[in-house]
Structure 1
């Protein structure tokens, strides 16, 4: 397993025989382990990699000799630029047999031949007879299929068949060259040996906690597909700094605190570079668990309660970002929408009553009913709130709401089943009330299950996919890739989330410097398919756009949709509208 991010300890002084691929800077400081552990890399190898960075050598191949009882290690150094810095990736793996079937002594002799030493000098330095050296040279010329010592030396350098450290101090002969200064690094393209390790850069890893079952399962499928499409597109253009991006997915029971904690810990154990999740009942547990890992955490819980928690403990939650405005905007938005319809003469009744049916099984949900109550009082509405704690209580709650003959009913829940129960109750009663849902109709299952009965439903979301060229282009690519149109919220949000992270990685000097990565996300606006993402400096919450006075270029629009003829049409706010409000077909009763 790769080393813990940011770990620093006394480096090993001998190779432990394990394969490795590590990142080293110009001062020899070890960074993230792409494979294995940097503790497998002796000091001398790290110094050579650092010298390769300083000497601007693009690559180096050589053979490292460990202890007598160890195999030879085939080493590859690649120097690369990442953001504003240059680093070396040094990889190594043991060789069961030496290249060209050379013996260890023949390899020592060949290495000294590359320095230009004579047979007599090599014999003296290795403390063996000149005749034995002659025999070794004859053997290695035959094995390398070379006619001369010079040809053998050239091939050894080209193929990286040089033993490091060089057996004796003869390496001083090379000190006038860059090759000598990095002890065997080469400044032209080598002919690669089949056994020479290639640098396989560890991918950037996005960890996603999504439910495989339960009330959020159909929504989770949208999240996974949006994330997958984003990663495929990022990788198709070369990844980030030449690294591919990968997904680590783990299951989560969104209603269970222990499952929430376990899911985030599992992703951290897999050494992901960013944690993500959608909405969970115990978002406080998710925040605390993610904060303890130190890994950046991007969630979409739309939680006003967690927004305040972060504001009040910014140090602890400095690496936590909320990808959408909070739920506290929903009920005020409902009151504002009803008031706008009344002013335009579009309500089906003169009733001054509004009803908000809201789930209370998740303690951290706050739809902003207190603020909505103040707005309703100011505009002459009676706002009635009906709480639903029982999963099977939504039909009864809808019937209680209908009995009050309201102008509009808001459904405060994130789950499709709850909304379907209320819509059916209103239709069956032919109630003269507007149905104003939040979020759940974004999930394709809502329209699939209701069919034509979904027409007329109005719904709002703090993050939804626009119907502009950017949003429509995403929808077309999604449909080509997965054979169905995306939902209008979390598919786009998951897609955008990957790009927000990739943009920060691309601009960071060190993708495992988590504070730097989060600073890049906080300081840079990203325009995605769901709008523009910019984060509040104190709460880490994405800015929202609700109408005149807000800046749509740095915010996510609080979109209001209506399902019309089976299509999702945006009816507010301008400039994102694609249609106007239509009176639903169940409103057959005359206005009173």
Structure 2
């Protein structure tokens, strides 16, 4: 887990807009001349899903808040956080979390993601403060496209999940062309979880594999959260014996269990990819050395360039321990993006003007380039995979990061523009 700060203590210090003395905040003695600017954070605290990601998001947001207030605030005003609990899998809870932010009269809402985003979006439309998040869902941005007036205030700071599927065969082809992977056959085996998010990814991958024509989908196997035993799934993998295996799931702890069980009885010479979940800190904590050789990716993550590495160092000084590579950066970037918008407009209460500024002014953060000025109001994806809202240049889009666990560390292996390493042979190869 990230950091040694007790989660309950951390939440207690920021919930309800209170900046308590549990951590060293240099701004607490400052005499602020105006009412604080309030940022709402729906954050999973008690539900089963999303706690690790939301703690990452809260930590990154907290770090940005501390830096901003130490430097004099925004427009001479203190930035405070309003944290409210949310169950990401419950439509009612998502709606209630946004309603709580509205009742608190926040100036903006920042959120990692919700699995049922539309009810939350509908609730926020009654208020229309900037709602800036990393939902990663095309269904949500399609809702904006269908009614841009209603959802004009909602910004998705990362590319949608469809790009996980669209880019997957492009990555396979790249590794083969590099000579670091020699597929034993042309088969792909997809293991898919049942939430809509994972289903969308699976369908996009199947479509892209068929259209590109270099590989074929040999089998699709369903799993259901929570996965208690990976044995039957691994047996099916061995029967299909595909060169490439995509495990389309999202829970770090269950991925860690999969790695341990797979290593005990592997599908020899298969390239195994797990979608997103290993980005969560508990994955490496739980999987340890059994994670070595497995690959994963995220459409939103902290780059390993100079800016990204500087932020990683700063974050780990504030929150020691294994660092998540996704929402730790996104939470930080969202606050910095909002700060620029609030300062440019001069009035955080002028929601429309702030949203108009965000829409027309891209921002380059530690997680890459965010440009909201398109018909889905989501960040463009890099590398260009031939589908909607994708960029041909690194600094014109947000790069998907393909990562391999090497020596119990995450190393970016694709795309080449920001890679740290190359794909290494997995322990079960050859």
Shorter-chain TM-score above 0.5: yes
Matches within 5 A, 1:415-434: 415-432=251-268, 433-434=270-271
Partner of 1:21: none
Q: CA deviation at 1:387?
A: 2.7
1:234 Cα offset (Å): 1.0
Which moves more between the two structures, 492-501 or 531-540?
A: 531-540
Alignment of 1:370-409 (within 5 A): 370=204, 372-376=206-210, 378-383=212-217, 384-392=219-227, 395=230, 396-409=232-245
Q: Does the C-alpha gap of structure 1 residues 482 and 266 become closer, same or farther in structure 2, counting only changes over 3 Å?
A: same
Quick check: 1:329–1:368 contact (8 Å CA) kept in 2? no
Instruction: Find the aligned partners of 1:467 and 1:380 in 2 and give their Cα distance.
Output: 30
- 1:573 matched to 2:415? The reply is yes
Contact 1:352 1:406 in 2 (8 A): yes
Partner-residue secondary structure (3-state), 1:293: coil
Q: Does residue 354 of structure 2 align to residue 507 of structure 1?
A: no
CA distance in 1, matches of 2:243, 2:340: 45
Q: How does 1:531-542 map onto structure 2 within 5 Å?
A: 531-542=368-379
- 1:357 alignment counterpart: 191
Question: Which of 406, 410, 413 is residue 249 of structure 2 equivalent to?
Answer: 413
- 1:537 is displaced (CA, Å) by 2.7
Of the three residues 51, 64, 68, the one matched with 1:230 is: 64
The count of corresponding residues between Structure 1 and Structure 2 is 391
**What's the RMSD between the two structures over aligned residues?**
2.0
- The 3 A distance-change label for structure 1 pair 281 and 348 is same
Moved over 6 A (4+): none
Are 2:162 and 2:200, in contact at CA under 8 Å, matched by a contact in 1? yes
| Contact persistence 2:192–2:198 (CA under 8 A) | no
Change (3 A) 1:374 1:445: closer
Q: Give the match's secondary structure for 1:578.
A: coil
Return the alpha-carbon distance in structure 2 between the equivalents of residues 463 and 374 of structure 1: 20
Deviations 1:472-525 (A, max 9, x none): 111111111122242111101111111111111111142111111011111112
The answer to whether the aligner puts 1:246 opposite 2:88 as a matched pair is no
Structure 1 residues 350 and 290, CA gap change in structure 2 (3 angstroms): same
Give the Å deviation of 1:377.
Answer: 5.1
Distance 1:553 1:376, change over 3 A: same
Matches within 5 A, 1:412-491: 412-432=248-268, 433-491=270-328
Q: Secondary structure at the match of 1:561?
A: strand
Q: Does 1:546 align with 2:383?
A: yes
- Determine the structure 1 residue equivalent to 2:41: 208
Of 113, 117, 122, the residue aligned with 1:288 is 122
Worse overlay, 457-466 or 429-438: 429-438
Name the CA distance, whole Å, in 1 between partners of 2:49 and 2:147.
32
Match of residue 363, structure 2, among 517, 523, 526: 526
Separation in 2 of the partners of 1:525 and 1:575?
Answer: 21
Structure 1 residue 437, shift from structure 2 partner: 1.5
Name the CA shift for 1:480/1:328 in 2 (closer, same or farther; >3 Å). Answer: same
Distance 1:223 1:388, change over 3 A: same
Q: Distance in 2 between matches of 1:373 and 1:399?
A: 26
* TM-score normalised to structure 1 length: 0.63
Inter-partner Cα distance in structure 2 for 1:336 and 1:276: 32
Measure how far apart 1:547 and its partner are: 5.3
Q: Specify every segment of 5 or more residues in structure 2 that has no aligned partner in the other structure, as ranges.
A: 1-30, 386-390
In the other structure, the counterpart of 2:133 is 299
Could you tell me which runs of 5 or more consecutive residues in structure 1 were left unpaired when the two chains were aligned. 1-197
SS of equivalent to 2:200 = coil
Larger Rg belongs to: 1
Say whether 1:337 aligns with 2:171: yes
